[in-house]
Amino acid sequence: MFFFDPTYFLVIIGLIISMAASSYVNRTFHHYDSYRSQSNQTGSDAARFILSQSGIQDVGVQAISGDLTDNYNGQTKVLSLSESTANSTSVAAIGVAAHECGHAVQDHVNYWPMRLRTALVPAANLGSTLSLPIIIVGVLLSYNTTLIHIGIFLFSLALLFQLVTLPVEFNASRRALKILSDGQVLTPTEVPMVRKVLVAAALTYVAAALSTFLQLLRLVLLFGGNRDND
């Protein structure tokens, strides 16, 4: 006999949402990557300028391999830009570089949601790694509800991390747009293009949070109720 699990549709919905968001951000980035900025600055040039204008002298800028692998590391004080961003003079590349500079500014001003997200990283990684094995062990041990609930709680830490990530990313984009709006890097007609790129990128974080929530909901529906162990 085959067991049909209707809650698996939650996983499928989460995958569809994540894939749609990823596809949208890639299409949007590559569309505006075809628009050369009038300043002719590369992503790396723009990043160094923005950091200097923000009074940040202790952050390095480096190019890394990959596509849209841009990130800011607060521990090493290094802003890493992917090849598609670092060496490009496109409006999209400058927008992505400015967004990462927004994270550097957050670090510089001690933005507390960013500190909270950093503090949650170990717990979120632990929860993502151990939650399902603990739930499986709980099921195998005659449906041990204590272990199962511990597993569900650990998985919820991953969702908490995703939720805290949202304001951090939104704030970094707002800082980026504010910096770019002064006209020294992009023209007033180019800033709306960047806004579209950053909105598309933000949707990927929303999609990740929704996908994680749907997975947590599935675990609760499958294992969260009390079972009679007799």
What residues are labeled active site? 100
CB atoms inside a 10 Å sphere around CB 177: 19
How far is the C-alpha of 82 from the C-alpha of 87, rounded, in Å?
9
Q: 80 — phi, psi (to 5°)?
A: -105, 125
For residue 78, the one-letter residue type is V
Kindly tell me the burial class for residue 55, based on how many C-beta atoms sit within 10 Å of its own C-beta (0-12, 13-18, 19 or more): exposed
Structure tokens at 178: 């504010």
Which residues fall within 8 angstroms of residue 150, CB to CB, at 6 or more apart? 134, 138
Q: DSSP assignment of 189-211, as one string?
A: TTHHHHHHHHHHHHHHHHHHHHH
